Structure 1
Amino acid sequence: MNRMQRSVVDKADFKVADQCLRRFGLRMPSSKNTSPVNYPKNADYAGWLGPRDVEKYGYQGPPGMRDEAWAAQDGRRAFIIPSNIDAAYTGLGKKVVKGIKVPDGGCANEAERALNVGTPSPDGSGAAKPRDHKQMLGLMDSASEVAFKDPRLTEVDERWSMCMRGRGYSYSSPDRAENDPRWEKEIDPETRRHAVTSLEIKTAVADEDCRREINYFGVRLAVYADAQNRIIAANRDKISRLQTLMKIRYANARKILGLRPE
């Protein structure tokens, strides 16, 4: 499912949840962003620093980037659930709101059920349950676990470390450089961002140069592709059902939004 299709599904989810909440005299927050997520989906897997614009922002990237990177996984941005809709939306706590019974799992699950009409469960046991589609993310995590054990990652980290030593920096891996505690000394509690120092920027620029020089991104992508292929080979039936689930959810979303079938 591409970013545009994921956005359509998110908009349909929002619409059904909002219609559900209206029964309680409530509404989804107007700040809920359902536009397509443009952040490169595999940037973090590849260790690509391009979206961070390190010459200006250091390792933390521009404002909002981390949230976009997280949303790129399934195309849906997180949002803060206002306290006034929490019980009706999540289905947790109160079972009756304003004298009206809350649907099982709240309005969030009502939206999921609308999207899942006619979809198969990933294990083939029957109809899909709310958020069954997120099992695809679990398979992606499994591929990551396989990839992290690949000796090619250790080897490319060593080459990167040697390159950085030639530029006057001592780190065993890019992860150590990104998470150097010196970068996190002054964090604004409201923005969750830290003050970027000249040292962080210089380090991040040298880091990005070294990653390019040794083809760090290419090696990591190759490793992850191999790991993903191993997970696919071991879960072909499940992945096939998940692909069908995603296609039907998208078709259902178009119906919900009054769009013509593709």
Structure 2
Amino acid sequence: MRSDLMSGLRLATPPSLASLAMSAAALVLGLAAAGCSSGTDEPRSARPTFSPPPITATPTPQSADGLALPLEAYFLTPDQNRTVARAQNMLISDCMRRFGFSYPVNASGGSDLSPVKEALRPLFLAESKAARWGYHATPERLAQINKGQETAAPKLSPAAQAVLRGTAKSHGGQDVPKGGCFGHGRDSIEAGAAKVKLPPWMKRADEDKPPAGAAPAMRSARAAPGYLPQSMLNGAFDLALADPRTKQADAGWSACMKQSGYNYASVDAILRDGRWAVSDAPTASEIATAVTDARCRVKVKYGGLMYALQLGYQKTMIDMYADSLNQVKQANEAMVRNATKVLSGNAAD
């Protein structure tokens, strides 16, 4: 079940964008045994409001390549993410071995994808790419996405699952660590990483706990150090999508599309069109639509505008929650430090 990361601030994240880009939460929060929230939108105190950021000139990048956003400083890099993932799996594997079970160290390969870059990627559509692939991913892109979505855990027997998840208190005369071997690996990697203080408006009691009946290894996704920057990343995107200047750009883009016979109200609407997912290969109609879309996006500077707006909204958020984000940085540093020790053989068992 997907958590509503920014209830009260964020709008609905477009499913189309989620399907085109690798889920950032999966990249950053994948090391946490993330639980589910109820998904209800209950009132929260002191919800922030964000004034539209000023933009003096709209940039004109042609792709997400080379672009950066300030929240990137609060995420693990892809290299760090792989380091942490491998070290955690080594700890899990060692723990499972003590109970007589095999757990491959490389069961979680890590990802080359950056959550921030993935938030920017769907905004741009190169005409050359559209003319060949329409809205479909290139083979190289598919390989990149599939690598990031590799299943972390191997197939395990019920007894091994119980030791991994912590539903067994003991096995073979040995006490199973609290949270199982998964919790042991995760908690060892996060040792010394202070709990990030979340803003009061983000707190709700039912989101602080995993689902009823969940394994001890599970916890709320909000307990992971990456939860706050991920929430802000999502929130800044949705604020940019709802900004009046984006609405104006969408209107210009829509008028451009109508000149070629296409009736879509917004870029988001064309990405939501389910026809693009019907076939494994792009159709002639899809390619023609995508080429026109690419040209119209360039005409209204859609990608550059959305990038500039996210830049502005993120800067405001970072200023507002600087103390909490510094805690995130310190937590990331602790995890990487612990993981490096594990991989070098210097960590305590």
Question: CA contact under 8 A between 1:5 and 1:250: conserved in structure 2?
Answer: yes
Count of residue correspondences: 243
Residues 1:95 and 1:179: Cα distance change in structure 2 (over 3 Å) = farther
Q: Could you say which residue in structure 1 is the equivalent of 2:107? A: 32
Q: Which amino acid aligns with 1:112?
A: R
What is the distance in 1 between the residues matched to 2:298 and 2:162?
A: 49
Question: CA contact under 8 A between 2:84 and 2:336: conserved in structure 1?
Answer: yes
Determine which of 231, 234, 237 is the counterpart of 1:144: 237
Determine which of 79, 86, 92 is the counterpart of 2:151: 79
What is the distance in 1 between the residues matched to 2:262 and 2:241?
A: 24
Determine which of 239, 257, 260 is the counterpart of 1:167: 260
Q: Could you say which residue in structure 1 is the equivalent of 2:181? A: 107
Structure with the larger RCO, 1 or 2 (CA within 8 Å, 6+ apart): 2
The answer as to 2:98 corresponding to 1:5 is no
Determine which of 109, 124, 133 is the counterpart of 1:57: 133
Shift of 1:257: 0.7
Please give the TM-score of this superposition, normalised by the length of structure 1: 0.77
Q: Superposition RMSD on alpha carbons, in Å?
A: 3.3
Determine which of 194, 201, 209 is the counterpart of 2:287: 201
Q: Could you say which residue in structure 2 is the equivalent of 1:250? A: 336
Structure 2 unmatched ranges of 5 or more: 1-75, 199-219
Shift of 1:227: 1.4
Determine which of 119, 128, 134 is the counterpart of 1:44: 119
The answer as to 2:209 corresponding to 1:134 is no
Residue range with higher mean Cα deviation, 57-66 or 169-178:
57-66
Shift of 1:184: 3.2
What is the distance in 2 between the residues matched to 1:32 and 1:146?
A: 37
Residues 1:247 and 1:49: Cα distance change in structure 2 (over 3 Å) = farther
Q: Could you say which residue in structure 1 is the equivalent of 2:57? A: none
Q: Which amino acid aligns with 2:226?
A: K
Question: CA contact under 8 A between 2:116 and 2:233: conserved in structure 1?
Answer: no
Determine which of 144, 157, 176 is the counterpart of 2:269: 176
Structure 1 unmatched ranges of 5 or more: 187-193
Question: CA contact under 8 A between 1:54 and 1:204: conserved in structure 2?
Answer: yes
Shift of 1:59: 1.6
Shift of 1:139: 2.6
Residues 1:146 and 1:123: Cα distance change in structure 2 (over 3 Å) = same
Q: Percent identity?
A: 26
Counterpart secondary structure, 1:89: helix
